[in-house]
Amino acid sequence: MGNTAAIAVARVWLDAGGKTWTTDGQPGSTKVIVGQAFEDDQHMAIDLTDEGISSIVAKLRLVKAREQSNFAMGGTLSIDGVGAWAVTCPEP
């Protein structure tokens, strides 16, 4: 397993359950802050908090797999009080 490193998240936009959350505070959305974001060669984890950094609004958890030239990444996204979903990501 490789080193775990903090990662920089440029922008987040979530739309679920008739609500929208963004890191840049778009009109009509609820502003969220990247509370933590970590990645290593096997996992990625990103937590979004409310603007006051008092509670976690959403959690993204991904697992990575690589074999020869093939790569796959998938996991879960959960949004507090709204729901949870399976997530798959295309190759980088």
pLDDT digits (tens, 9 = 90+) for 1-60: 557 788 889 999 999 999 999 999 899 999 999 999 999 999 999 999 999 999 999 999
pLDDT-based confidence at residue 90 (cuts at 50, 70, 90): confident
pLDDT(84) > 90: yes
**Residue 57, pLDDT score:** 97
How far is it, in rounded angstroms, from Cα 7 to Cα 63? Answer: 15
CA angle (60 as vertex; 58, 80 as ends), nearest 5: 25
pLDDT-based confidence at residue 76 (cuts at 50, 70, 90): very high
